[in-house]
Structure 1
């Protein structure tokens, strides 16, 4: 069935440029799937957005494809607007989006389910100026950003004052986590199925923003060449996290696996992304393709599984 789809993209978070690339790619896939598509670059103008969604003469979109990334796009804010406007939209709802974006809160949910997370704590950013909050190496993360924006691995010899200054743009609190050596894994979840496990092998020091969005910097191995028990546990944890947060549509869970530890004991879950990247390099679409789902088919699947506000 052909639908009129509004693709929301852009926004004003640090992930704006990635969102624009995602939005353009999704719009093209929707058109290839036979849908009428309107692209909309979201700005800090709520009235304009409302007028776009519900024009005075009617003719608004049948469904919104949310291709926004970062704050206001995947933290429950835009989802709340769409709920109020009663416009169906892709991906997760207000509560699931808000909890997943708040890394400390998501960690609480994961540990309550028995899923392992890296040892960590939330501290005031200014305390970094007083010295290391835990033995190095450790990871410093903004509590509510995506795409590894603002993430730093503090190793021996690194300048802690520079890390503290870099974090100033992201608020007064940061999440500190023990660095887990080993391998980077990710699992896409489509509604009620964990699709596959991909291992990521970045050519940079870690899987940061540059490694995620620069062609050729990271090798994607799918299915991940890891023991079957680790592979299946990662899929199980991804689906458990997805369901516990109340997610919808397409999401992605990220893991570290310390392969120096016995069995599955080295596996930890890092986060769950309710708005996974949808660029040509992105991981969730790559897993869908591996599972036999073409790009236009995936786009149609996503609008078929859009949330319908009451």
Structure 2
């Protein structure tokens, strides 16, 4: 098959996308497919750039907003669907993370251009990327999720309805970018300001201490439960993408009853 892998982009998760995207390119070629790597912000990724990416690392922090703004100057997302690398592909593999590559924008463009692509459609992508909407749907499906408020909020509202500590984060962002754990009332305003740099909506959520469990869903089957044990208090950007900063245990050390409950919650969220 002729496959075009979209990777990179202009979101704060650009480096994550490039690191994972090059692995996707290599894996697909290893299966005998004809593959092109395409960065919506820069164009077709050359062989030399591929070699450089294959030896690179994500880094311990996301790109600065200033660096991303310079990358965004070269984006040609509105004209992306007219490119021969997409038009001639049998399928487009979406390796973009965050931003317009994950919030339904790109998916809608590809739908309108009748270009086949991997992953969810534009509506599911938009809902999944929006934490506020996702949590409302989770509640409707009886999936347990922490209580939350959306900014603007006062310290008194947060203390009265959620208590401290709370997690403050952009509503439509990934990789814990712009996220803070607020333990003191005096730190709330600064945390909201930091999160607002990455999104026009900010969520303030009750902090729930516990274990970091993850469940993949394939088709209609919940895969084994895994546990992620970060070196920091939370599973932040550095712990996610820096070797040695987190330990992953599969399967997680859970009772059969707890495993089944977690898997059922995952299936309910997925559906």
Given the two structures, how large is their TM-score scaled by the length of structure 1?
0.71
Which range moved further: 41-50 or 213-222?
Answer: 41-50
* Alignment-derived partner of residue 143 in structure 1: 171
Q: Distance in 1 between matches of 2:85 and 2:230?
A: 44
- The answer to whether the aligner puts 1:40 opposite 2:71 as a matched pair is no
Taking the TM superposition and a 5 Å limit, the aligned residue runs for 1:10-159 are 10-43=8-41, 44-46=75-77, 48-53=79-84, 60-124=88-152, 127=153, 133-134=158-159, 135-156=163-184, 159=187
Q: Distance in 1 between matches of 2:21 and 2:137?
A: 30
Are residues 107 and 217 of structure 1, via their aligned partners in 2, closer, same or farther at CA, if it must alter by over 3 Å? same
Instruction: Give 1:158 deviation, angstroms.
Output: 7.0
* Alignment-derived partner of residue 212 in structure 2: 184
* Alignment-derived partner of residue 198 in structure 1: 226
- The answer to whether the aligner puts 1:212 opposite 2:240 as a matched pair is yes
Instruction: Give 1:184 deviation, angstroms.
Output: 0.7
Which range moved further: 59-68 or 154-163?
Answer: 154-163
Aligned residues: CA RMSD: 1.9
Are residues 21 and 183 of structure 1, via their aligned partners in 2, closer, same or farther at CA, if it must alter by over 3 Å? same
Structure 1, unaligned runs of 5 or more: 244-310
Structure 2, unaligned runs of 5 or more: 42-74
Q: Distance in 1 between matches of 2:225 and 2:186?
A: 32
Q: Distance in 1 between matches of 2:227 and 2:178?
A: 22
Secondary structure of the residue aligned to 1:169 is coil
Aligned residues: 235
Are residues 158 and 222 of structure 1, via their aligned partners in 2, closer, same or farther at CA, if it must alter by over 3 Å? farther
- Tell which has more relative contact order, 1 or 2 (C-alpha 8 A, sep 6+): 1
Q: Distance in 1 between matches of 2:77 and 2:199?
A: 24
Secondary structure of the residue aligned to 2:150 is strand
